[in-house]
Amino acid sequence: MPSPAPALPPLAALFLAHFHDTAGQHLLYYRARTDLPPATLEHTVLPSGLHNLHHDLVLFTHHHKYGAGLFRSRERTEQDNGGRGRGRTMGVVGVVLGNTVEYGDSADLFALRPALEAIYDQLEALSTPPFSAGTSDGAADILDTLWDTCRADHPDRSAVVHASIQHEADRIYQLVTERKTVSPEHPVAYMPRLLETLGPNIVPVYKAALSGQRILLYSPPPLLPLTALAWNIWACSIPPRKVLKTGGAEIAQWLGNVGLMDLTSLQERTGGWIATTSDVIFKSHPKIYDLFIDLSLVPLQDAMDSAPTAPPPSIFASAPTTPPAPLTYAFSDLPLYRSLLLLTSSPPTVHAGLWRQGGWWLIIYQVLERAWNLCKGVCEFAVGQGALGGPIQLAEGEEEARLLEDDTEDDLLDLLSEADEHEREGQASDQEPEAEPTRQGRLILRQLVHNSYHTHTRLSSVLSARPRGEQSIGQLNEQEVRELAGRWAGKDDVRFWRGIARRWGVVLDLDE
């Protein structure tokens, strides 16, 4: 009898694939809803370069649903088809989520490894290897039992409520505002690694994602950390909450890993997206992407491991009428970048879901935000609610902080360092301890979401100066872009501000 099924969320599909010596990628087992044909799934889950690894987690989308496949490579045994000495046996067992409200978001994929490992262990324990000459009866029994138990359209789940991209965006806001502990498997733990890898270029990449551009990250496997980096770029592209409430905003798609079989579909896809690939040939197809981030020289490791020194990645921006050119950050991007760096050295008492904790460190940090023109006026992300154009409104006993507003930037940074030492020596937060990469990742993501809030405020302010009845008619003109980006606004600024104006639904673009 098969072992009890591991804990799995409701599924839309369950599959087993392997790499055949002569036929290449081959789908051995596939059970799914009737509206989900296999298509080219075996190529998606066995992309280029996996043969160099012993294991990996491949994350992808299949018919607009999220999926995960656990890859393993084992030395052949005498029982395998072809016998010992014919290379390695490479296979993937995987699932496609049923997109329910409780399970079905892209972030949920990263927690599926233990369940998939348990399934793979059962398959490898069979007397007849599952990849020998087709799916063995024992393997089919195990997978059939799992499918019958976990299928999302099971009669016992007839009342299940399906998730939406809007629901997924809401969960991003919960991640950066609510008081809860997030598991180390959550992809936000890779956000500090993304900041470290991209350096100041994290700001133009964030702006590209925010304005709905098509972003492709390339690296040879492992794919799990690469896909987690892409997830964080996608997460910071979520429109401000005010925009989401209107229901008219475009939200970029997180596609997971894509391969050569996806070239045509990517060309035909509309709207913004973020994806990963291990096929370098994508680089020579600039019409597919707006940004190509080449991480091939960057060692990709687990979020909890220390990263070795590596050269910065090459980032190429593509445009319809010009060849790809290197992406570089602007001087105006540095304040936001510096604010992100400071969060990676914040004391453990500073937490995304407990923004008032952190004491003087957090107060000084907000004064720096104001000095760098990152946070102004009434702001739902600030320590306290500020009066528009006025001083920070602080709780009783914190009025001494007003004196900080007259200090220089260097003085504030020195005070921030002293406050850090004081907070670390003080009483710990009553929040359950969270892994440092996860805590820092949530703070960094919160700050980027915070910046999007002010970006929307500035955009709304400029549009409000238009004549009554014309505030949402027509794209931003050159004068409005200069007012938003400064007198030296370039083509990248025009693309950014017009992109978010259209994507957030605050203007009706008459040229489209």
For the ranges 24-38, 102-116, 391-405, 443-457, which has the lowest average pLDDT? 391-405
Residue 134: the pLDDT is: 53
pLDDT number for residue 82: 45
> What is the reported pLDDT for 406?
62
Rounded to whole angstroms, how far apart are CA atoms 36 and 65?
10
Residue from 211, 197, 223 nearest 275 by CA: 223
Gyration radius of the chain's alpha carbons: 25
Quick one: pLDDT at residue 404? 63
* Residue from 241, 222, 201 nearest 334 by CA: 201
Instruction: Look at residue 51 and tell me whether its pLDDT is greater than 80.
Output: yes
> How confident is the model at residue 391, as a pLDDT?
46
Least confident of 94-103, 191-200, 279-288, 393-402: 393-402
Looking at residue 86, its pLDDT comes to 47
Burial 173-182, CB ≥16 within 10 A → b, else e: eebbbeeeeb
The verdict on whether omega for the bond into residue 222 sits within 30 degrees of 0, i.e. cis, is yes
Give the Cβ contact number of residue 396 at 10 Å: 5
* Across 366-385, average pLDDT: 74
Q: Among 360, 339, 358, 359, which Cα is nearest to 348's?
A: 358
Give the global pTM: 0.90
Specify the DSSP class assigned to residue 281.
G
Band of residue 357 on the pLDDT scale cut at 50, 70, 90: low
For the cut 70, the answer to whether the pLDDT of residue 56 exceeds it is yes
- Alpha-carbon distance 178 to 431, whole Å? 11
Q: pLDDT value at position 334?
A: 95
* pLDDT(4) > 90: no
Counting beta carbons within 10 angstroms of the beta carbon of residue 367, is it exposed (0 to 12), middle (13 to 18) or buried (19 or more)? buried
Q: What is the pLDDT of residue 396?
A: 45
**pLDDT at position 413, please?**
76
Residue 74 in 3-state DSSP?
A: strand
Handedness of CA 447, 453, 457, 460 (dihedral sign): positive
**d(Cα 336, Cα 374) in Å, to the nearest integer?**
7
State mean pLDDT over 457-484: 90
- How confident is the model at residue 91, as a pLDDT? 93
Higher pLDDT, 424 or 480: 480
Q: What is the pLDDT of residue 461?
A: 92
Task: List own/partner pairs for 461-465 with CB under 8 A and 24 or more apart.
Answer: 463/501, 463/506, 463/507
Residue 184: what residue type? Answer: P
> What percent of the chain has a predicted confidence (pLDDT) above 70?
82
Instruction: Check if the beta carbon of residue 446 is closer than 8 Å to that of residue 372.
Output: no
Check pLDDT > 90 for residue 398.
no
Least confident piece of the model among 152-166, 265-279, 329-343, 478-492: 152-166
Residue 261: phi and psi, rounded to 5, are: -70, -10
22: pLDDT confidence band, cut at 50, 70 and 90? confident
Q: Please check the confidence at residue 356 and state whether its pLDDT lies above 80.
A: no
Structure tokens at 21: 């010596």
Q: Residue length, the chain? A: 512
pLDDT digits (tens, 9 = 90+) for 113-154: 999 999 999 999 888 777 765 556 788 999 999 999 999 876
Q: What dihedral angle (degrees, nearest 10) is formed by the CA atoms of 255, 259, 263, 269?
A: -10
Q: What is the 3-state secondary structure (H, E, C) of 395-455?
A: CCCCHHHHHHHHCCHHHHHHHHHHHHHHHHHCCCCCCCCCCHHHHHHHHHHHHHHHHHHHH
> What is the identity of the amino acid at 389?
G
Q: Which residues pair with 26 in a beta bridge?
A: 18
Instruction: From residue 388, give the alpha-carbon distance in Å to each of 364, 379, 382.
Output: 19, 9, 13
Tell whether the torsion through CA atoms of 344, 349, 355 and 357 is positive or negative: negative
- Averaged pLDDT, 221-234: 97
Residue 439 tokens, joined? 């805590």
Q: Which residues contact 130 (CB under 8 A, 6 or more apart)?
A: 16, 28, 91, 123, 124, 136, 138, 139
Banded pLDDT at 388 (limits 50, 70, 90): very low
pLDDT at residue 399 greater than cutoff 70: no
Res 400: pLDDT: 52
CA–CA dist 377, 160 (Å, integer)? 43
- Per-residue confidence (pLDDT) for residue 425, from 0 to 100: 58
| Confidence at residue 62, expressed as pLDDT on a 0 to 100 scale | 94
Measure the CA–CA gap between 162 and 185, rounded to whole angstroms: 24
The predicted structure's pLDDT at residue 237: 96
pLDDT of residue 92: 96
Q: Tell me how far apart the alpha carbons of residues 65 and 494 are, in angstroms, rounded to a whole number.
A: 34
The structure tokens 């302010």 sit at 461
State which H helix or E strand residue 62 sits in.
strand 55-62
| Percent of the chain residues topping a pLDDT of 90 | 51
Distance CA 231, CA 437 (A): 15
pLDDT tens digits for range 419-429: 666 666 555 55
Q: Is 97 helix (H, G, I), strand (E, B) or coil?
A: strand
Dihedral (CA of 443, 240, 499, 106) sign = positive
Instruction: Tell me which of 5-9, 71-75, 291-295, 368-372 is least confident.
Output: 5-9
Cα separation, 217 vs 408, in Å, equals: 40
pLDDT averaged over every residue in the chain: 84
